[in-house]
Amino acid sequence: MDVAVILAFVSGILAATWRMATPLIYASVGEVFAERSGVINLGLEGIMLVGAFNAYTAAFYSGSLWLGLLAALFTGVLLGLLFAFFTVTIKANQIVVGTAFNLAGSGISGFLFESIFLKSNYSSLGIPTFNDLSFPFLTKIPYLGDILFHYNILVYITVLLVPLASFVLYKTAFGLAVRSVGAHPKAADTMGISVSRMRYICVVIGSVLTALGGATLTLAFANQFVEDMTSGRGFIALAAVVFGGWTPWGATAASLLFGVFYALQLRVQAMNSVLLPYQFLQVLPYVATVLALISVRHRAGSPKALGVPYRS
Partner 1 sequence: MNSPILRMENIVKTFPGVVANRGVNLEIRRGEIHALLGENGAGKTVLMSILYGLYVPDSGTIYLNGQPITIKSPKDAIAKRIGMVHQHFMLEPTLTVAENIILGQFPSWTILNKQRIGEVHEKIRSLSNQFGLGVDPAARVSRLSVGEQQRVEILKVLYHGADLLILDEPTAVLTPQEASRLLEFLRDLAKKGLTTIFITHKLDEVMQVSDRVTVLRDGQVIGTCETRETNPRALAKMMVGREVLMDLHRKLASPGEPVLAISNLRVRDARGLPVVKGVSFTVRAGEIVGVAGVSGNGQSELALAIAGLIDDVAFDRFQLEGKDVTRRDLRAASHRHSAHIPEDRQKMGMVLPFSVSENFILEEYSSPRFARHGFLRGQAIRSYSQNQVKKFDIKVSDVSEEIANLSGGNQQKVVVARELDRHPGFLLVNQPTRGIDIGATEFVHQQILAQRDGGTGILLISTDLEEIFALSDRILVIFEGEIIGELPSDRSQVEKVGLMMAGKRDPDRE
Shortest approach of partner 1 to residue 271 CB, angstroms? 48
Closer Cβ to partner 1, 140 or 171, answer by number:
171
Q: Is 141 left (phi over 0), alpha (psi -120 to 50) or beta?
A: beta
Closer Cβ to partner 1, 77 or 108, answer by number:
77
Question: Taking Cα atoms as reference points, which of 211, 260, 205 lies closest to residue 234?
Answer: 211
Shortest approach of partner 1 to residue 190 CB, angstroms? 5
Question: Taking Cα atoms as reference points, which of 237, 236, 254 lies closest to residue 245?
Answer: 254
Q: Give the separation between CA 309 and CA 80, rounded to whole angstroms.
A: 16
Which spans of this chain sit near partner 1 (rule: CB under 8 A)?
A: 171-174, 176-177, 179-180, 183-184, 186-194, 312
> Angle 3-36/233-243 helices, nearest 10 degrees?
80
Closer Cβ to partner 1, 71 or 84, answer by number:
84
Closer Cβ to partner 1, 153 or 176, answer by number:
176
Shortest approach of partner 1 to residue 37 CB, angstroms? 13
Closer Cβ to partner 1, 13 or 177, answer by number:
177
Shortest approach of partner 1 to residue 70 CB, angstroms? 24
Shortest approach of partner 1 to residue 237 CB, angstroms? 24
Shortest approach of partner 1 to residue 36 CB, angstroms? 12
Q: Give the separation between CA 100 and CA 41, rounded to whole angstroms.
A: 11
Question: Taking Cα atoms as reference points, which of 228, 173, 241, 213 lies closest to residue 33?
Answer: 241
Buried b vs exposed e over 113-149: b needs ≥16 C-beta within 10 Å? beeebeeeeeeeeebebbeeeeeeeeeeeeeebbbbb
Closer Cβ to partner 1, 177 or 292, answer by number:
177
